[in-house]
């Protein structure tokens, strides 16, 4: 069952004890993590307890975990956060110009509507 950890998504592959789980992901070494560091997602995949890395990856592909994650609202928010954090100084400038432009257009429309309703 896939879970989200600090940045990336990992699969719970076994439960060690009350507090810890064995987690695995395609690009990391299988390791233990405390449940406190994990947040559950809705995504589930069909695996047996402690699968081999190859079967795990195959199962993740079959269930299209990456696709589902990126489509989910949580996943989309993360992508936006990452994009915002990686913005260059020039990008931030361009973003500011775009926001001002959009606000200007919105205000024009609003003014038009106000005029119409007043009339």
Partner 1 sequence: MAPKSARVTRNPELIPGVRKISRSKMYHKRGLWAIKAKNGGKFPHHDKAPAATPVVEKPPKFYPADDIKKPLSNKRKPKPTKLRASIIPGTVLILLAGRFKGKRVVFLKQLSSGLLLVTGPYKINGVPLRRVNQAYVIGTSTKVDISGVNVEKFDDKYFAKQVEKKKKKGESEFFEAEKQDKNALPTEKKDDQKAVDAPLLKAIEAVADLKAYLGARFTLKDGMKPHELMF
Binding site for partner 1 (CB under 8 A): 85-90, 93-94, 97
Smallest gap from Cβ 32 to partner 1, in A, equals 30
* Of residues 27 and 89, the one with the C-beta less far from partner 1: 89
Phi-psi region of 40 (alpha: psi -120 to 50; beta: other; left: phi over 0): beta
What's CA 33's distance to the chain center, in Å? 19
3-state SS, residue 99: helix
Q: Which residues contact 46 (CB under 8 A, 6 or more apart)?
A: 59, 62, 63
* Of residues 74 and 93, the one with the C-beta less far from partner 1: 93
* Of residues 85 and 118, the one with the C-beta less far from partner 1: 85
3-state SS, residue 7: coil
Smallest gap from Cβ 85 to partner 1, in A, equals 7
* Of residues 7 and 29, the one with the C-beta less far from partner 1: 7
Smallest gap from Cβ 55 to partner 1, in A, equals 38
Rounded CA gap, 56 and 50, in Å? 9
Smallest gap from Cβ 88 to partner 1, in A, equals 5
State the DSSP H helix or E strand holding residue 72, giving kind and residue range, or none if neither.
none
């Amino acid at each position: 069952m896939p879970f989200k950890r600090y940045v990336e998504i990992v699969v719970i592959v076994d439960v060690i004890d009350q507090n810890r789980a064995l987690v695995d992901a395609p690009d990391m070494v299988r390791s233990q993590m405390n449940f406190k560091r994990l947040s559950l997602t809705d995504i589930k995949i069909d695996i047996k307890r402690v699968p081999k890395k190859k079967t795990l990856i195959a199962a993740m592909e079959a269930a299209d975990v990456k696709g589902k994650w990126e489509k989910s609202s949580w996943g989309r928010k993360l992508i936006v956060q990452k994009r915002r954090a990686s913005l260059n100084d020039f990008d931030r400038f361009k973003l500011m110009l775009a926001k001002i432009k959009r606000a200007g257009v919105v205000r024009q429309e609003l003014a038009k509507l106000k005029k119409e309703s007043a009339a």
